């Protein structure tokens, strides 16, 4: 039976979503095309009907994963994002977690198309973390962007370091707790000042 264009597009999208989860879970080099297609429910030979190469799929899968994270982040204030991001739940769910934390190191060793996707993804995350009603010009806008970028890089790095530790390692939890607390303190002048008498916690 001939596959319709709509079904072919749906099949392609399913492969991209499957690859996005598997790559985050196992890394780019930990998933072969045959295994990936089998996980998606298709034959190995069908891969090249949709993609020119594994690198093309890697770029699309990264864009898919980053878009999912950006969508979940949109509308969430930064302190809440930090609490959710620097949590043990996020740390332990690689397949559905942040693509940048799961694959940023891998991406650095792959073709430019993959790295360009990550750069675009970082911009989308910065946009998602910027309040829609904010209106800043010039230096103020630059400072706000720098602060958000610093926070995001700090959070991603904390997840990477925590995951590098053995499961249930006290250090893994310590990394998350220390970085989470420090980022939250940097976001709140009253918290940074550490005046217990005026604490609102």
Q: Supply the pLDDT for residue 167.
A: 85
Q: Which residues contact 166 (CB under 8 A, 6 or more apart)?
A: 172
**Among 84, 87, 85, 96, CA closest to 155:** 85
C-alpha to C-alpha distance for 160 and 184, rounded to whole angstroms = 19
Pick left, alpha or beta for residue 100 (phi over 0 → left; psi -120 to 50 → alpha; otherwise beta): alpha
| pLDDT band per the 50, 70, 90 thresholds, residue 193 | very low
pLDDT at 191 over 90: no
Which residue range is the domain that position 120 belongs to? 5-198
| pLDDT band per the 50, 70, 90 thresholds, residue 200 | very low
Convert the pLDDT of each residue in 72-88 to its tens digit.
Answer: 888 888 999 999 999 99
By CB atoms closer than 10 A (0-12, 13-18, 19+), residue 191 is middle
| pLDDT band per the 50, 70, 90 thresholds, residue 195 | very low
**Among 201, 27, 16, CA closest to 110:** 27
Task: Give me the CATH number covering residue 116.
Answer: 1.10.357.10
* Count of CB atoms situated within 10 Å of the CB of 7: 11
Convert the pLDDT of each residue in 87-143 to its tens digit.
Answer: 999 999 999 999 999 999 999 999 899 999 999 999 999 988 886 655 556 667 788
Convert the pLDDT of each residue in 165-177 to its tens digit.
Answer: 998 899 999 999 9
- What stretches of 3-88 adopt beta strand conformation (E)? none
Q: Are 101 and 199 contacting, i.e. CB atoms less than 8 angstroms apart?
A: no
Q: Which residues contact 156 (CB under 8 A, 6 or more apart)?
A: 98, 100, 101, 104
Mean pLDDT for the chain overall = 87
C-alpha to C-alpha distance for 62 and 185, rounded to whole angstroms = 31
Our count of domains for the chain comes to: 1
* Count of CB atoms situated within 10 Å of the CB of 69: 20
Convert the pLDDT of each residue in 134-155 to its tens digit.
Answer: 555 666 778 888 999 999 999 9
């Amino acid at each position: 039976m001939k596959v319709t264009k709509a079904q072919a597009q749906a099949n392609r999208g399913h492969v991209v979503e499957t690859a996005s989860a598997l790559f985050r879970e196992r890394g780019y080099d930990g998933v072969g095309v045959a295994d990936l297609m089998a996980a998606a429910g298709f034959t190995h030979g069908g891969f090249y009907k949709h993609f020119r190469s594994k690198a093309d799929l890697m770029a699309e899968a990264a864009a898919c994963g980053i878009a999912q994270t950006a969508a979940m982040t949109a509308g969430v204030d930064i302190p809440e994002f930090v609490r959710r991001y620097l949590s043990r739940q996020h740390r332990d769910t690689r397949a559905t977690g942040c693509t940048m934390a799961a694959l940023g190191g891998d991406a650095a060793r792959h073709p430019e198309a993959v790295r360009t996707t990550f750069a675009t993804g970082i911009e989308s995350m910065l946009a998602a973390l910027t309040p829609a009603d904010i209106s800043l010009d010039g230096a103020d806008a630059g400072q706000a962007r720098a602060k958000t970028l610093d926070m995001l890089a700090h959070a991603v790095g904390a997840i990477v370091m925590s995951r590098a530790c053995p499961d249930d390692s006290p250090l893994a939890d310590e990394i998350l707790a220390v970085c989470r607390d420090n980022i939250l303190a940097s976001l709140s002048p009253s918290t940074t000042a550490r005046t217990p008498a005026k604490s609102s916690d």
